[in-house]
Amino acid sequence: MITIYTDGACSKNGQKDATGGFGVVVLDNDKPIKFYTKRSSETTNNREELKAILYSLLNYGKHSPTVTVYSDSAYAINTLTNWMFGWARNGWIKSDKKIPENLDLIKPYYEHLNKGYKIDLVKVPGHSGVLWNEVADKLATGQLTEEDAYAKYC
C-alpha cells in the first residue's frame, strides 16, 4: 500500500524575491521508499503545496489500489477535491468572476483525473508531530536533503 506525505513551504511568501520548495515522502507498507524535494524561486506556499500533490498524482496516481496522499494544506485539499470542479464547470472562473490562482497547476491535476489517475487526499494537522509530515516539511524548507533523509530514515 502506497502512502505519501507532502508539504510545501515558502520564505518571504507573497514577496517578489520569495523562494520555496516542496517535499514528498513515499511509503510502501509504512516503510519509506522515496524522498523527493524541489526548490523554486518567485513562488508561494500554496503553489508549493499544489506542486507536491501534483507530483504525487503524476508519479503514483496510476497505482492500484488507490494511493493515499496526506497534506497539511487546507487550501490545496479544498482546491483539488472541491473547488476546481465548480471552476471547471464555469470555464475556469470563480464565483467572483476572477480566474483562480495557480490555475497552471490545477488544470493539469484536473486533466489527469479525467484520464483515470487517482489519489485520495487526506488533511493532516501541520507541525503536530506526525513523523512523515515533519520530514516532508524539512524537505520542503531545505532543512533536509534527499540523501540525508535516506541515510536517517531508511
| Among candidate residues 32, 20, 19, the one with its CA nearest the CA of residue 149 | 32
Minimum mean pLDDT range among 12-16, 76-80, 148-152: 12-16
User: Residue 12 corresponds to which cell in the numbers above?
Assistant: 518571504
Is the pTM value of this prediction over 0.75?
A: yes
The answer to whether 83 and 102 are in contact (CB under 8 A) is no
For the chain, what is the largest distance between any 2 Cα atoms, rounded to a whole number of angstroms?
49
Q: Which of 72, 62, 73, 46 is closest to 118 using CA atoms?
A: 62
Q: Of the ranges 35-39, 101-105, 126-130, 144-148, which one carries the lowest mean pLDDT score?
A: 126-130
Helix axes 146-153, 131-141, angle to 10 degrees: 150
| pLDDT at res. 14 | 85
Q: Is the peptide bond before 65 cis (omega within 30 degrees of 0)?
A: yes
Share of the chain above pLDDT 90, in %: 92
pLDDT digits (tens, 9 = 90+) for 40-97: 999 999 999 999 999 999 999 987 778 999 999 999 999 999 999 999 999 999 999 9
Percentage with pLDDT > 70 across the chain: 100
Provide the pLDDT for residue 65. 78
Question: What is the pLDDT of the chain when averaged over all its residues?
Answer: 96
Residue 153: the pLDDT is 95
List domains and CATH numbers for the chain. Answer: 2-74+117-153 (3.30.420.10)
User: What's the whole-number mean pLDDT along residues 102-131?
Assistant: 95
pLDDT at 133 exceeding the cut of 80: yes
pLDDT at 66: 81
| Residue that has been written with the C-alpha cell 486533466 in this structure | 111
The CA distances from residue 120 to 15, 45, 70, 98, 111, in Å, are 32, 21, 8, 28, 16
